[in-house]
Structure 1
Amino acid sequence: MQNRRQFSRVLFSTDAQVIFNDHQYPCKLLDVSLHGALITKCDAFISNTNSNAILRFILPQSEIEIKMEVVVCHIEADHIGLKCHHIDIDSITYLKRLIELNLADDELLHRELAMLIHDTQE
């Protein structure tokens, strides 16, 4: 199977919350990219693909919160794939730094940022 990902994901496990229809559901962030995230599936979370939600998580040993508006892309037995469709400037700055530290490839990160900027301008 061909990998169609345009954005590198980094493994990053931390507690998170997904907010759907004004209800917060606890979950675990499994990995993250500039364009989305993979979270554990929580039993109470009932949603369909293409549903809008908000993903929030705090960076460990800090008070920095990353918050992104997401669309549910796929729901599997143990996890949910989310695609980011909006993120504020502070969150994207911290997310960029998190990925930069874990990716160890500045050139790849800058290419992905350019693709992300190009996508939002279309």
Structure 2
Amino acid sequence: MTTPDTERRRFTRISFDATTELSRGSKTWEVTLVDISFNGILVRSEHPLPLSDGDEVEAAIHLLGDDVVIRTPATLTHQRENDYGFLIENLDLDSLTLLRRLVELNLGDETLLERELDNLFDDS
């Protein structure tokens, strides 16, 4: 079983500022992206979100307006005050490619990127 500390060691969290929306059913909330990794996202909301651990949402992370968007199902794994941590799984190929490029640009080290990709696909 992995713990949040183990996950942080396996997947580097990238601080990134992007317009981010969470949707569930007919509800949509605009939130602030705190960080992102191959394994999950951490967002902050100005207002409490009506979500509980285990709830699933659709996350849309706008990298370049509406032209470049990472879309992924996400499951709430923890919350503390106005911070919400989500596990991301089942990224489509386009979103995975965008996330890979984002991580690659921020890590600046091909070896670290390959290690993270190995960890990502070892869990699949």
Q: What TM-score, normalized by structure 2, do the two folds share?
A: 0.88
Is 2:83 the counterpart of 1:79? yes
Runs of 4+ that moved beyond 3 A: none
Look up the match of 1:116: 120
Look up the match of 1:22: 26
**Rounded Cα–Cα distance in structure 1 between residues aligned with 2:24 and 2:109:** 34
Look up the match of 2:15: 11
Shift of 1:44: 5.6
Q: What TM-score, normalized by structure 1, do the two folds share?
A: 0.89
**Rounded Cα–Cα distance in structure 2 between residues aligned with 1:51 and 1:62:** 26
Identity among equivalent pairs (%): 27
Is contact 2:19–2:63 with CA below 8 Å preserved after alignment? no
**Rounded Cα–Cα distance in structure 2 between residues aligned with 1:103 and 1:94:** 14
1:44-89 Cα deviation digits (max 9, x unpaired): 6201001111110111367111011111011111210011122100
1:9-53 Cα deviation digits (max 9, x unpaired): 110011110012331111111110011111012426201001111
Is 2:70 the counterpart of 1:93? no
Residue from 42, 48, 57 that aligns with 1:53:
57
